[in-house]
Every structure is written in C-alpha cells, then in structure tokens.
Structure 1
Amino acid sequence: MTMKVETEPMRSPSGAETDAAAEVKPPIERFFNRELSWLQFNRRVLAEAQNKSYPLLERLRFLSISGSNLDEFMMVRVAGLAGQVRQQIEEISIDGLTPGQQLQAINGAVSDLVHEQHAILASLSRQLEKAGVRLINDRRLEKHEAEWLAQYFEQHMLPALTPQAIDPAHPFPFIANQGTGILFSLTRAADGAQVREMIVIPPAFPRFVRLPGKEGAWIAIEDMIRRKAARLFPGFKINGSGVFRVLRDSDMEIEEDAEDLVRHFRTAIQRRRRGKVILLQLQADFDPGAEELLREKLRLDHALVLKSPGLVSMTGLAAIVEEERPDLKFEPYSPRYPERILEHDGDCFAAIREKDIVIHHPFESFDVVIDFLRQAASDPDVVAIKQTLYRAGKQSAVIAALIAAAEAGKSVTAVVELKARFDEEQNLMWASQLERAGVQVIYGFVDWKTHAKVSMVVRREGDGYRTYCHFGTGNYHPVTARVYTDLSFFTADPRFGRDAGQLFNFITGYIEPRGTEMLAISPVGLRRKLYECIDREIAFAKAGKAGAIWAKLNSLTDSQLINRLYEASSAGVEIALVVRGICCLRPGVPGLSERITVKSIIGRFLEHSRIWAFGNGAALPNRRARVFLTSADGMMRNLDRRVEVMVPVRNRTVHDQVLDQVMLANLIDTEQSWRLEADGNYHRIGDVTKPFNVHRYFMTNPSLSGRGAALTKGRKVPKLALRRGGATAKHD
C-alpha cells in the first residue's frame, strides 16, 4: 500500500521558502557525503583496536567488527552506487556528487582502510603471541601440532572438499556471496601438463580452528587447506596457490505489487546469494594469470578488486576472541534488575501502574522486557497482546512468550518485519512458528519497514480494561541488548494505550492515525512534530530567550532536517548533537552552523538510543525541557519511509533520568568521544583535567528511574553538571 507522506520545502535561514539552487552555500559546503561519513565511522571503530586501555582480545573484537561493518557497507551501499553507474543513473548525493564520483572516492578510502586493518592485525598478533595466543600463518608447526593438524584435516575436512578443474570441459563454479576459495596452479606428474584447480571452502567450515593445548593457537581454515593440499592433489606438483573472497550485491528491491510478500522474500533471499560481484579480495601474492581468470569468470562490472597482505577477511576474527582468557577481556558485567519491580515482588504490571518507568540497557537488565511479556502470557486477566518484531534474534524468549500467550488462548498479534536487512530468513522462520501457534502474524506495509519497537498488553482490571505499553529505542533482541545502549519505556497511561492502539491499526488495517494524544508516528507526523519543536526553539531565540536543542542519534543524513537545524543555529539556538555513525551535517561553519557541535561516542557498548531534548525557553538541562524517546534516526527513510514512533517523556523521574543522566553523561564524556570538525575530520577529545567515561559511570551508578524506595535509602547517584565551555561530573 502507498500513502501520501507530508514533506516540506526547504527554507533559507531567514525562514523563506527556497530550493537547492538558491542555497547560500553549495551542497559540498553544506553537507558531508553520506558514504564517506560512514567510512569515517568505521575508522573510529577500527581505532578502538588500537586503544591501549582495552584488553588485547577486546581490541581484536573491534578489528573483527570493523571487518563485518565493511562487508555490509560494500554489499549494500557500494552495491547500490555501482548499480546506478551501470544503469547510467546520475542521482546526485546530498553533497553534490555523482554515483561515479562517490565510487571513486569510496574505493580509495576502502583500500586505505583494509591496509590499515592488516597493519593493526600484525601488531595485535605480535602482542597476543607474547600473551600466549598465537595466530598461525606461514610459520613452522611443532611436530605434535603438525600431527594433530593432519588428523583433523583427514577426519573433518577432506571428505567435504571438492577440487574442481578450471578448463573448457568444466563450468566455472559458482562462488556465493561472502564465499572464499583457493586457486591452485599444478603440474601433472604423468605428462607435465599445467592444470588449474579450485577449492571452494564450504561455508559450514569454521573460519578459524583452534589447535589443542593450554596456550591458544589458531589457524585460518584456508591456511590449513593450503598446508594439506598434497592430500587433495595426489600425482600433482603444487606450484602455487592463492586465496580469494567474493562479496555480492545483497540489497533487495521490493516489488510494490507483490501479491505474496513471504514468497517474494524467499525468492529474493535466493537472488541475493547470486547478486553481482561488488568486491573481489585477493591475497597480495595472487598469481596474475589466476587473477585475470577470476576477473573474466566473475564478470566484474564496476567492482572493486583489493589485494590484501594477509587474511582476505577480518570478520572471522571474532572466533579467536572466544579464547578462554578472561585476563585479556573486559571484566564481566552483570546488569542490574530494577528495584521498583522487585519491590512489587516481580509484578511488572503493579510497578508500571504505580508510575512510568524507563530501563537503561545494558546497564539494566533486558530481562525486565522478557518478564513483562512472560507475565502477560501467563496472567489470566490479560486478554490481548500486540507486538512489533524487527529483529528478535535466534534464541528469542520474546517469541516463546508470544507463542505461550497464544497457546493460553489470548489474542496475540505480531507485526513481523520481513525487510529487516540480513534478518529476513530468521524473521520468516519466526513468522512460521508464530502462525502455527495461533498468533495473528502481520507483515505490515510492502514499501515501508515497520521499525517502531512497541509492545501493547490489554489487561482486564475491575470493571474495565487497562493497557500497558512498552516503547523501545532498540530491538527485542536479547543478545544485542547486552551490548547496545537503549532505553525501554513502560507506561500504563491510557493516552499512550489509545495511541498504541491507533499505531497497530495503522499497520494491520492501513487506518491512518488521527488526533494522537502522545505519540508522533512516521511517516504521517513525526517529521512535522520535530519541525514544530525546532521552530519553537527558533522563536524563543528570536524573542531573546534561550533556545537549546540536544539530540542523540545513530545517523543524521536528512537534508531537510539538517537545514532546519542550520536555521536554528543561525537564529541563535545552541545545539549539541551526539551522532554515533553517519553525520552529513557540517558543524561549526560561520554563518551556517557555528552554534552546532557534533560528537561521536565509540566504546565498550554500542550507543544506540535515540533522544531529542528541547530547552523550552531555557538553557539545557532544565525541568521544563521537552524530552522525547524515539525509534527513528535523522534519516529520510526513518521520517518518510518507515513506521516509527516518538514518545514524550512526562514523568518527572523518567525525565530526570533521560535528560540529566543519559543525555548529559553522553555530552560530558571525554574518554570515548570524538569531535566532528567543520572539515569533516574527527578528533578524539583527548586528555582533560577531569576525565569522564559515560559507560563506566552507568556501570557503577544506579539509575534514577526504577530504583523505587532504594533511591532514598541507598547511596546517592553522583550528579552530573555541564559547564559552559567545559564539562565535569560532580557529586551532590
């Protein structure tokens, strides 16, 4: 279904309507390129692999994350640009570049990034070896290691490997997306003939294999195959070999008139595995003749070819991080369970009835979200549950709770988003299980993703019904909830319940929400609500009062929203943004954005919560500020092409936690923060007189919301304070 979405024309800093051609500054001086900004983000992730304050295996984890991040970027964003070039689509980016110009800039930046990854891996490998964790490459093995390796190869690998001759009589084998292969150059002993053979490494094989022993010794699967190649090719002399890896276009276009969305997605997932090659990675010593063969057979068209000095992929390094060496990892952290709920003997509904509550993950346990649904499933007074599911994970307690509720005879509706990138197969599987249990499964809109994180429980109480709601900034995913910082807001306020009902009716029946009392819902009203809040701050500033905006987002790329913030800055509004990833806004430009600061926080936990705060006529933070939680980032797709919600925070304790703790702690962090400069470069904030670490603060200090009586009886939470021109944390 397609519905009309409200958009507004661009406005100049004076407030008059204008178009792009009439902007004071050309696009390249107003905005950063989205793709290059993402690469800057991944460089910040990679920089954590060099952070000497982190244990060695945690640094290796960041290196692996930078590799998996880069894979997704290539398979989706770069693949999209390459497709535009192939089809001669000259769609200009936010900063005025053509797809071809962007590809050229990206390819150079990706090449530099990959070589930096290898330099860091070499350094980490040396340090890890001194600590007793070895990554075996070309080095000679000890006798017992070689014997074990030979036995492992014979028993676990040889039966599954299939040598394939590369000649006119044999078709060139298909290399799946993210597939790795080895090309061998051989001489047949019988007649001296030159032969090429390929081994495609089965995807079920582990990326790295650990050799037995007290000290960890790990070998890449491709290195093991090369070492034992003689067993694969008896009667041949091995002249050389080279490892390669293929990434393919993995984005999926949705046909608007697809009659059966499930069937469409099953076939689309199959097409993804056979998409056009977007990246060919080769080891640096790869034979030129073999390289030419791959280029021809893989039909490279606007694909990037990279030669790596070692491993062709960093993604599998996460396996080595699992080495049982707690001394080389972060000290384990156990999240707190909210005292408010414990005071009610674990009764989530009683605690929420008493007062709204917000949970700050991962510092506070995601178990409370699971318990909320489990209690709903087993409570005989609960009559209905409605739930959105964007990413739920492989071992989802949320799914189990919904199934239990349906089997207990409750009315259960699950909105399963099939377009959650790279989770489509998992979501299809969950949808099938839910339907078999009697859950009413809805797939939402064909052309919009349902990205809102909402749970709604209708409970019979007294002579009527009460609706309990959960709104989240993150997914119902118990694994990511341990490392993503997100906020879970629980309320029994009937206004939220009525709005949540309209939201689900919008998704399930295309009934556009009208007259919502609390929620702003995209794509029908969230953008308008944000603009209204920004315009209020502009009006305050023009009236001589303080205008102030704080925001915490994962990405900021929408040109209209950025222009509105530029307008606010020009009017005198002070704006502080915490944007973890992509940021197309150019801060600190005289006459445009001199009152805007942007920082990015990268650390042990992945900053993921989305928050907006507006001063409401006074400098931030203040008790009258308007504070909102949202599932939406500052991107066109979130505001115009996704179903999202923005939730106002009215409860005083929750308001204080979100504004005076979460937002303020992010703004005054010095140890994990990078400041974005007007030239597009990020710089660590560096040494300060009083360093502050936002993650350490929340790991060691209880929350305000959710503490109940413990808030008055226990030790006080250190109060945070913001100093203009500098920041500090102090105790009351």
Structure 2
Amino acid sequence: MTTATKRPPEPPSPAIETIDMTSPDRFINRELSWLQFNARVMEESQNPRHPLLERVRFLSISASNLDEFFMVRVAGLWDMVQADVKTVTPDGLTPSQQLEKIDDLAGRLMRQQQSYWSALQKELRENGIAIVEADELSATEREWLDGHFLDQILPVLTPLAIDPAHPFPFIPNLGLAMIAQLKRTDDGRLLDAIVPIPQHVARFVRLPSDSIRFVAVSQLIAMYMSRLFPGYEIVSRGQIRAIRDSDIELEEESEDLVRTYESALRRRRRGHIVRLQITGGLNDHLKRLVVEETDTRPQDIVVVEGMLALADIRRVIVDERHDLLFKPYHARFPERIRQFGGDCFAAIRSKDIVVHHPFESFDVVVQFLRQAAEDPNVLAIKQTLYRTSDNSPIVQALIAAAEAGISVTAMVELKARFDEARNIKWARDLERAGVQVVYGFVELKTHAKISLVVRREKDGLRTYSHFGTGNYHPITAKIYTDLSYFTADPQLGKEASAIFNFLTGYARPEGLKEIAYSPHTLAPKVLAEIEGEIEHAKAGRPGCIWAKLNSLVDPDIIDALYRASQAGVEVELVIRGICCLRPGVPGLSENIRVRSLIGRFLEHSRIVAFGNGAALPSRQAKVYITSADWMPRNLYRRVESFVPIKNETVHAQVLEQIMVANLKDDLQSWMMLPDGEYRRIPVDGEGFSAHEYFMTNPSLSGRGKAMDGDRAPLELKLDDHDD
C-alpha cells in the first residue's frame, strides 16, 4: 500500500494467465458472482463463532436469496432465451451459456445447503431442539396431533383428485403441495391426487413437550393421508414446489402508475414456472404427470434430495433459547442529540452529524421528522421513500406534519421490488392526509435517500438535510450497516432541493457544485475522481482509492480501476456481494484487493474515498457517502445521490474509523482471488471483527463532547494487526 500500514494475511492466489484490457476474461459474470456471494452467506451456517440458531438463520437466508435469484435473474435470462436474444455480457456469455453455468453452480449450492441442514439438525438435537419423524412420536404426542390436525389443519386443506373431471390445480409462486399416487384398497384402481398446502399454514408444528420438538407439516399431512383419501393406500408420494417469474415489466406509456402496478402484482402470482422442485421419492409416473400438468420444461425440474423450501427453517428459531442466539444488542442514541436536550435541529445547526446504524439508533431519524412535524416554524418537508416498514413511524410523522398544515412532499418509489404493494398502501395513506405524493419516473427508480426540512429561523429560512446510504426502514436499520448524515450546510440543502425538483417536475439540476446524482452526473464524477488518482500516481504522488459497496458491476468503472492499478494507484475495495472485477491479475490489477464482509449485520453502507494526492487514510482525502452501487442500473437507470463529507469530525469517523475497521477485519472477511473464488482470511490469534468493534466502541461524531480525552476509535489503524 502507499501508506505505511500492514494488512491481514491474505490467502495465496492461484496462478492466472495474463489478461489484457481487450479480453472479456477481465470481467467476472454478474450472475455467477452473485452465486458466489450467496455461497459465502451459506458458509456462515458452518461458522463456529456464531451461535447455533443464528447459523440456522444464515442457511435460511441463503435459501431465500436463491429463491429470489431464480424468480428474478434466472427468469429474466429465460425470457431472453425464449425471445432469441443473443446479447453477450461483458464477460462474453450469451443468455443460454449463462443459464448453463448457473444450473451447474446453483445445483452444487443447493446440494451443499441440504448437507449443511442435515448437519445442523444433528447439532439442534444435541441442544434440545428436534424436528422429529413420525416413528419418533410418543403416544401422547400422536394423540395431541390427532386433535391439532382435525381442528387446525384439515379445515384449510383441499384434497384433489387429478383426472379429466378434476384439473391439476394452480400452484402459486413459492407454493408447496403434496402429490401422491394412490391405490384403492378394494379393487386396486390407481388414483393421482394432490393436496396444496396453503401458504398461511405454519411449515412446522411445535409439539407440547418439555423439550423443543417440531414436526414438519408435510410429515403431518403424509401421516393423515388416510383421512384425506379414505379407502386408499399410498403407492408413491412426495412434494412439489413452484418458483415463478416474479419480475414486473411496465409500459412507459402507463397512464396510471398505481393501477398498472396493482394489475402487475396480481399477475406476479401467476408468472411462468422457472423452477419446479420435487422431492426424490416420486416415481416416474408422478414425475411425468407433474411435467405435463404444470407445463414445465424438463430442464426446469429440480430433484431435491432433502427438504423443500429451506428458507422456512427459520421457523425453528425459538426465542427462548437465548444461549443459542446472538446476545441482544441495544443501539445507542447519539449523545450529540442528548447534549442539546433532544433538539435535533439545534444539534445539527451546531455541527454536522453522522450516525452509524445499527450501532447507533435509527430512532434519531424518526425523531428528526417527528420534531419537524410538531414544530410551528417548519414550513416544508420533502422525503424520498424507497422501502420502509409496516406501520412506519416515518410515514406516520409525514402524515402528522401534513395534518398540522406543513407542506409535505413524499417521493414514493413504486418499483421497489417485492415492496410494491406496501408502497401503494403508503402512498394512499399519505394522500388521504394531504401529503403531495409523487412517483418519480416510469423509466427510472428513485433510490436516493434524502430528507429535507425547511425551517423559519431568526436569520431567515434554513434547510436541514438528511442523506442516507440505506432505506428509511426502522426494522432493517437494526441489522443493516448504514450511515445517516445530518447537515445544515446551505449549499447541500440547496442542491438536495434541486434534486427534489427534478423528481417532482423533471427540472434537471444545473451547476451542482457538491452533490453528484444519477442518472446524469454520478458516473462521470466517479470516473473523473479515478482519473485524478491516476494523474497523482503518474506525477509521483500517492494514488489511493478506497471504496465500500454492495456490488461492483459497471464495466466502465472496472476498466478505469484497472487503468488506475496499472498506473500504480493502490485500490482497496470492500464489496459485500457481486464483484465483476478480477483483483491481483499481473499487468492488469495487481494493485487492487477485494474483500467481502459477511457477519452478524448486513453490510449496506456505501463509502468512497480518494487520496487526493496523499496516502489513505488522510485528512486531505475526498470522502463521499452514496446510495449507489457501481452497477449500470444505479448509475444510469436510477436516481441516486453521491454526497461529499467535508466536516472534519464526520470525515474522520467515516474514513479513519469505519473504512479502516472494515479493511482491518479478518474474523468475518473473505478475500477475492483472481479466478473469482473467495477464501476466508486466515486468522492468527484472536483476530479483529469490525462489527464487534463498533458494538463496543462508541462513534466519534455521535458522542461529541463525551469523546473529549478519549480518542481511541480515531486511533484505530491498519498496522494494529501483525501479519
């Protein structure tokens, strides 16, 4: 590195042939990189540093992630194949070639998930939590199940014969069904039958017992098949599960965006099947029946040797076993706000504040808006809403403000995938309260996280701004790492207002001096800053780039980083998920290192730092927080913000605390190798966890005067860790 620091020991890199700037091999496929990320999530289920039930949660998350991957990404590729689209990705693959590679890697991932679930079940039993089979039930449990099945489950089940008079039922997206071939006991006549399992039925039934025992509802239905089909015995049985295309496409000429989305959401449940999972016990007759009746392509049938819908194993995570869960963590409320008696405006007016979620409470964002809603001197509030929770306190604060006569504008993004229905509900609730609701652009998603409060004060109007890297969502703010930046800087307020005018009235901002935004100036700004570091390196000054993102996909930025590496710029990247750049390739990227942090909290904050002629970390550096990952969709098909951090205290916290801690982490980090694979960083001794550090060390900015004489967090340096 260009700074005198030591980094944690890295795993040895495999030999790789030289790749030049014209070869498609310089890029890693986006979809395969995502599957690698999900494999890292899955591997946390085997991490002995995590409590057992948290490891179950990681495996559940990896299964849920994979379902969504098929519902959206694989579905999109199949649509391209059916439309005979021959588009080639930057790494040189056609849609059909990508699907072939996805099938191979995803298949291995699913088999590994089943293997890990089998191992976890053994550990759960050893710790007093069991998912039992029928032959393990006691007489008392069977008697209890008789009543439970008859009273709670049988009334909502509909056993269906499959014949010319009884068509095969529709299986909704992520829907499960028990399918069987039955034989009548009196004359041996065969019957095909299916029992759809309603999605509101609990996947596991907890038994009344001194210990914690569950039985799967599929096991329960199998036990009582004679009640559902009296006079028949089972020849073959198993389960099926449908994963359907769940993406939404809109016509740009939509006259009513809300109604269009409501119609599209109804269609989503009936999207075509992209994967039909079946359990391995089905005989050939039932397999053929399923293919024919569901109109599923044979290549989309996946035989699962194990449990379908592994995402549902989260249902066995029981709250009473505190010893098998992470110790509860209670986020701190920023002491800077407390010092001003809870007055957010006074605290922000005094000095810019950055709040580091989830280590510091999201309640401060809610309090900022609630205070605005109750303040007679507040004239206007402007707010973007991409995702938030049910019964959102943010929405409630905006409603209260509108009802108090404040001019409130809410930019509600309807196109937030899988949150569309919730967003429509918010929009209508807000409109009823008198909020001016706008929906942005049909062709662009509004992903920027901005809140503005305009207040009348003694010296005139003052704008208080909040810029975030994460959503205005109080639930995810407890598990996502994000930054909330509060400022009363007049220029930032003026430029944020200009971006709102763009969202509400198509007035393209001109002459912004501080904030860059997508889809117009963000990508050029990033590319210009990278070129600036190249020029510093060529002139003999240190050239340094640090970036923390969720994904790095954009080929233009990747090529710019390659050029920077070739010029001698040291590039340190913390990329949680997709990374299409190859680090450490001789002659191409030997000065680039990529790591991924996977741990208790989901890394979500986006931070970018450029050395500006000095080795990082440095007070001379240019530091930005942003809502945008470096992906084409963020740079060219969304509205995003890229906000400079100039306040000295906030600058120090973001760069010298947060970024340095992420680069120092070795307990929950994976290093990316030139071939696209990842390996855990080998740890000598106790190691260092960024998450544990932030849980136990209060932030610099949030504490204000409470930090006087105690600057330990600011002193954290990379060279604290010996190789």
TM-score (norm 2): 0.96
User: SS state of the match for residue 509, structure 2?
Assistant: coil
How big is the shift at 1:88? 0.9
How big is the shift at 1:258? 0.7
Distance 1:87 1:271 in 2: 20
User: SS state of the match for residue 706, structure 1?
Assistant: helix
The answer to whether 1:728 aligns with 2:721 is: yes
Corresponding letter in the other structure for 1:580: R
Maintained 8 Å contact 1:27/1:96? no
Maintained 8 Å contact 2:114/2:306? yes
Q: Which residue of 2 aligns with 1:50?
A: 46
How big is the shift at 1:638? 0.3
How big is the shift at 1:138? 4.8
The answer to whether 1:41 aligns with 2:37 is: yes
Distance 2:696 2:679 in 1: 27
Q: Which residue of 2 aligns with 1:620?
A: 616
How big is the shift at 1:142? 1.1
User: SS state of the match for residue 495, structure 2?
Assistant: helix
1:262 to 247, 254, 258: 258
Maintained 8 Å contact 2:652/2:714? no
User: SS state of the match for residue 700, structure 2?
Assistant: coil
The answer to whether 1:204 aligns with 2:194 is: no
Maintained 8 Å contact 1:522/1:645? yes
1:601 to 593, 597, 602: 597
The answer to whether 1:232 aligns with 2:225 is: no
Deviations 1:567-598, CA, capped at 9 Å, x for gaps: 11111110000000000001111111111000
Distance 2:639 2:132 in 1: 48
The answer to whether 1:522 aligns with 2:512 is: no
Q: Which residue of 2 aligns with 1:67?
A: 63
How big is the shift at 1:135? 1.4
User: SS state of the match for residue 512, structure 2?
Assistant: coil
The answer to whether 1:214 aligns with 2:207 is: no
Q: Aligned ranges for residues 655-674 of structure 1 at < 5 Å? A: 655-674=651-670
Corresponding letter in the other structure for 1:556: L
Maintained 8 Å contact 1:657/1:704? yes
Distance 1:27 1:214 in 2: 63
Q: Aligned ranges for residues 689-708 of structure 1 at < 5 Å? A: 689=685, 691-708=687-704
Maintained 8 Å contact 1:449/1:643? yes
Deviations 1:191-225, CA, capped at 9 Å, x for gaps: 43211111111111122221122321122222211
Which region of structure 1 is more displaced relative to structure 2, 210-219 or 247-256? 210-219
Distance 2:284 2:368 in 1: 60
Which region of structure 1 is more displaced relative to structure 2, 524-533 or 213-222? 213-222
Q: Which residue of 1 aligns with 2:560?
A: 564
Q: Which residue of 2 aligns with 1:444?
A: 440
Corresponding letter in the other structure for 1:606: L
How big is the shift at 1:356? 0.3
The answer to whether 1:287 aligns with 2:283 is: yes
1:335 to 331, 335, 354: 331
Deviations 1:110-143, CA, capped at 9 Å, x for gaps: 1111111111111110111111111124542111
Aligned residues: 705
How big is the shift at 1:165? 1.2
How big is the shift at 1:322? 3.3
Pair 27,262 (structure 1): closer, same or farther in 2 beyond 3 Å = farther
How big is the shift at 1:26? 5.0
Corresponding letter in the other structure for 2:646: R
Corresponding letter in the other structure for 2:344: C
Pair 678,167 (structure 1): closer, same or farther in 2 beyond 3 Å = same
Which region of structure 1 is more displaced relative to structure 2, 684-693 or 58-67? 684-693
Pair 628,34 (structure 1): closer, same or farther in 2 beyond 3 Å = same
The answer to whether 1:87 aligns with 2:80 is: no
Pair 596,24 (structure 1): closer, same or farther in 2 beyond 3 Å = same
Maintained 8 Å contact 1:61/1:318? yes
Distance 1:714 1:369 in 2: 26
Distance 1:307 1:391 in 2: 35
Distance 2:343 2:203 in 1: 45
Q: Which residue of 2 aligns with 1:120?
A: 116
TM-score (norm 1): 0.94
User: SS state of the match for residue 242, structure 2?
Assistant: strand
Corresponding letter in the other structure for 1:118: Q
Maintained 8 Å contact 1:578/1:667? yes
Q: Please list every run of 5 or more consecutive structure 2 residues that lacks an aligned counterpart in the other structure.
A: 1-18
Deviations 1:660-696, CA, capped at 9 Å, x for gaps: 0000100010100000010111000012356111001
Distance 1:631 1:729 in 2: 34
The answer to whether 1:717 aligns with 2:713 is: yes
Pair 582,302 (structure 1): closer, same or farther in 2 beyond 3 Å = farther
Deviations 1:86-119, CA, capped at 9 Å, x for gaps: 1111111121011111101101111111111111
Maintained 8 Å contact 1:621/1:659? yes
Pair 153,446 (structure 1): closer, same or farther in 2 beyond 3 Å = same
User: SS state of the match for residue 517, structure 2?
Assistant: strand
Maintained 8 Å contact 2:236/2:281? no
Deviations 1:200-257, CA, capped at 9 Å, x for gaps: 1111112222112232112222221111221111222232311110000111112111
Maintained 8 Å contact 2:574/2:662? yes
Maintained 8 Å contact 2:657/2:713? no
Maintained 8 Å contact 2:548/2:605? yes
Over the aligned positions, Cα root-mean-square deviation in angstroms equals 1.5
Corresponding letter in the other structure for 2:286: A
How big is the shift at 1:728? 2.2
Corresponding letter in the other structure for 2:379: V
User: SS state of the match for residue 28, structure 2?
Assistant: coil
Q: Which residue of 1 aligns with 2:8?
A: none
Pair 293,26 (structure 1): closer, same or farther in 2 beyond 3 Å = farther
Q: Aligned ranges for residues 446-465 of structure 1 at < 5 Å? A: 446-465=442-461
Distance 2:343 2:133 in 1: 55
Corresponding letter in the other structure for 1:417: E
Q: Aligned ranges for residues 412-561 of structure 1 at < 5 Å? A: 412-561=408-557
Corresponding letter in the other structure for 1:621: P
Q: Which residue of 2 aligns with 1:683?
A: 679
Maintained 8 Å contact 1:82/1:303? no
Distance 1:436 1:215 in 2: 50
Corresponding letter in the other structure for 1:294: V
The answer to whether 1:653 aligns with 2:646 is: no
1:311 to 307, 310, 319: 307
The sequence identity of aligned pairs, in percent, is 55
Q: Which residue of 1 aligns with 2:404?
A: 408
